Amino acid sequence: MSATTYIVLAYAAVVLGVGGYLAFLASRSSELRKRERQVQLLGGDDAR
């Protein structure tokens, strides 16, 4: 395989890795917003 092939494969791996990480962060953010709403509904929002 040529050097260009390795560069393209490495670039694809990086793009997939960054995309996966962003998806993980979006999922985590959604879970945290849901948890925050639950805490507020239980009256725990004055603990700040």
Over 80: is that where the pLDDT of 47 sits? no
39 and 45 Cβ atoms separated by less than 8 Å: yes
The residue whose two tokens read 């985590």 is 28
Q: Please write the tens of the pLDDT for every residue from 2-42.
A: 999 999 999 999 999 999 999 999 999 999 999 999 999 99
Every domain of the chain and the residues it spans: 19-48
With a cut of 80, say whether residue 46 has pLDDT above it. no
Entry pTM: 0.67
Q: What's the sign of the alpha-carbon dihedral 35, 36, 42, 44?
A: positive
**Cβ atoms of residues 46 and 40 within 8 Å:** no
pLDDT at 48 over 80: no
